[in-house]
Each structure stands twice: as C-alpha cells, then as structure tokens.
Structure 1
Amino acid sequence: MTKITPLNTAEHSGISIIESNDFSRFSSEHLIPVVAQEFVSLATEFPIVFVKNAETGRFTPVAMMGVKKGINLYCQDSSWRTGVTPLGFSNAPLSLMKTSEQSDEVMVCIDQSSHLVVDAGGHRLFNDNKEQSDYLKARTQALLDIASFNQQTASICQLFTSLKLLEPMQLSVKLINNEQAINIDGVYVVDKKRLNELSDEDFLSLKNRGVLPLIYAHLLSLQQLSRLIEKQNRYDLSL
C-alpha cells in the first residue's frame, strides 16, 4: 500500500531518504515507460518499442525488459546488474502532482510507506531551519526535468503518428521451455520502408527537430531482442 502525501515541513522535516538499486517493485512490469532523451543509452541493453493507448490512440515508448507479460527479467531480485538505468526508476519515493486540474503548477509529494523513507541515516529533505536541503532541491529539479522530457517525448510520438511511421511489430518467439511459440504483440516500431519513402520536406522536419538519432537508436535497439530471449530462457531453466 502506498501513502502519498504532499511534502511539507510540518510532517516531513525529520525524515530522510536513502537511495537504492533495488528495483524489484517493477518485477511484474515487462514494459517500462521511457523518454526520448534516454533512447541512445538504453538501446545498448533493451529493445525500445512503442505501445498504443487504446482509448486515446497515443503512443508511448517503452523499454522491453521481458518476453512474457508479468515478468521483468531484470527486476526479479534486489540487485540491478545492468550499466544503464531508466530515469523513471530513480523517482521513488518522490513524485510530482498538479495542485489542481486547472493549474499547471505542481507540488512535490512523497510516498511515506516506501522503504526508502527513513528517520535517520539518509539524505535529509529539510535542514535545521526547515528549509529545503540541497538534496531535495536536486531531486525536485530531476522530477521537473523528467516531466519536461515526458512532454517532449509525447510531442515526438505525435510527430511519428502524423507521418504514419509506426507499425505493429509481428514477432513469434520459441522458448526452450515452451512447446508453443509466444507471440509478442501490442507493440509498435518505426517502419523503415515508410521512413525511407518520406518526402524531402518531412525527412528534413525530422532532421531539424533532432529526431533522427532517436529513430536510429530505436531501430538499433531491436537487436537486443536476442539478448532478451536468451535471458528469458536462462530464467525459465532456473525455475
């Protein structure tokens, strides 16, 4: 259970936050939302694909961390053994929330039920004068940066949609411990044929917005599917 409340000095002046590479809270999430700014770094480890919201029709980029739904192969225990980490993994126990539906102003909230919240021994959120600590200021700025990155990523996905660049990925995977192949569906990738057939004007619009490196990183990341399948086989054999 979570207990998320707005951060304030009256309630939280005496608590601290510890940092941990235990991301086992994501153990059942095989698709992790990411932002465009981390495509290049994450592409060295994870396939980056897109998923479509059935209600809005909008696309979101995600890092595939499992072949089977409900199993994140990287977060089954408390150890994170990979050199790259999605930005969103480091948010907890802090988050941003709008002050009202009509306002663009946000406030910092904290999940008081998180194991990362401690009474002593961690990074203080407020100093003795009940002013924000440098640590809290840095964490708040990181949250604001990610919020901005999310907006920019949504805009890029809308651009891909307008140019009809995204197509469903059809992939059937045969695992060692499964008699039948597993179909990976519900994910989308950039259509290379469509990309190459863009008009000069549309292609230049991608170039001028700095989007081309992101597309190439995404396409290159699909080579990591073989790594993911091998990891799934090792996981299945260990059970």
Structure 2
Amino acid sequence: MTDIKLLFCVGLAVVLTGVGKSAFIGKSHSGGKDDPVLQYVVNNSLREHPVLTKLRLRTLEDQWSIMMVASEQAQFMANLIRLINATKAIEIGMYTGYNTLSMALAMPENGKVVACEIEDTYVNIAKPFFKEAGVEDKIDVRHDIAMKTLDALIGAGEAGTYDFVFIDADKFNYDRYYEKSLELIRRGGIIAIDNVLWSGRVVNPDPSDLTSQGLDALNKKLHKDQRIDLSMLIVGDGLTIAIKR
C-alpha cells in the first residue's frame, strides 16, 4: 500500500507541474513567482507550519534566497518522508534550514535529520527557528565539509540505515554525494536530488558550462543505474527521486 501511495504522490507532482507551453516554470518564490498556475497550486495546496513561514520570509531577505528549496517542493518531500515512515534523514546543503525544518516536522519524535552546512551565517540563521519550532533535538547540524560528514557516518557503521537523503549542495560533487548516499540509504529508501534541470541549461549544455555538463552527465548516469528506480520531476529547479532497490 505504501508503494502505491508513493507512486501516486510522485505522479501527482508531475501532473500538477506539467502545464502550459513549457512544463518547466521554476520555484514559486523565484522563477515561477509570476506564473499564475504555479501560484494557484501553492495557494490551494501549501500547508505551511507557522515557523516555516517565518523562516521562508527571513530567507527571502538573503541575497542568495534563490537557493532556498521551494515551499511546494519541501512539502512534497515531507509527504514522501511520511509515506515511508522515515526516522533518519540527511540533508546535504542545509542553507538557512527551510527544508531541514520541514523534514524534521514531518518526522516522529524519535526522528533525526543530519544537516550538512559549511557556512556559519546560514547555521546561525537556522538554529533559532529550529528551537522555536520545538525540533532542535531532531536536527544534528554538521558544520563541516559534507563529504567528511558522509564519510564519518559510514565510518560510524551507519551505512544502510538512513531512510531519506536530499542532495542540494555544490554541483561539482553531486556524483560523489550520490554514491555516498547510496551507501547510507536503506533498501527502499529515497535519495532526492535538487537542481537536476538547472533552469533548463542541462538540455544540450554548452561545452564551456561545466556545471550543466556535470548535471547532465549525472542525469544520464542515473537513467541507466540499475541500483535504483527513479523519476525526474519538473518541480522547483528539477527534482530527481531515486529509490534504492
């Protein structure tokens, strides 16, 4: 029954966002903020915790707020977490913590989110909101290079024990993050990968655009990867859902 619900949820995301002449419309707070259909979706489906709202508005004051996970995408992933009864998750690239908080709120009391973030400023923004929402004990902020944190978790014997991983950090290391995530995730667990469309630049990427080239290569690798089942969704800046076989 859980698998049926999961497939329905993924399919629903495709239907809701595959609209208009071009299905790719971006995030509701940036590229898609003037798209009436996307705003309709947000207005009629978003159920945002009050502290999430406050954190989203605070994040929009930051000059790099385009990096924030779209609220509609965060809610979708929170629902995936509920569907698979996740109690252990990793976020690779926390930023100001909007999606971290969303995941923590979706988990039961014994849930734990390991949040990887290197920038002091963003960690300092996030923590008071975690406390206000009453989930600070669920969130383990690892203020270090993400690869070091992932290796440390594997070294501590946690391979195969995580339910959900969200990859949203430096694109240069996406492939490495993916491989480490496959080690850490359990069978049936989900790896969600952000920015896989990169504002459409992954389509026939310019040879000089190394980021788009790298994302395109990873997308093609995942398409052939028999270790996972997957869907690439037109949500936010493109979201791949990979389920470990």
Higher helix share: 2
- One fold, TM greater than 0.5? no
- Based on CA coordinates, which of the two structures has the bigger radius of gyration? 1
Which has the higher relative contact order, 1 or 2, with Cα contacts under 8 A spaced 6 or more apart? Answer: 1
TM-score range, shorter chain: under 0.3
TM-score relative to the length of structure 2: 0.24
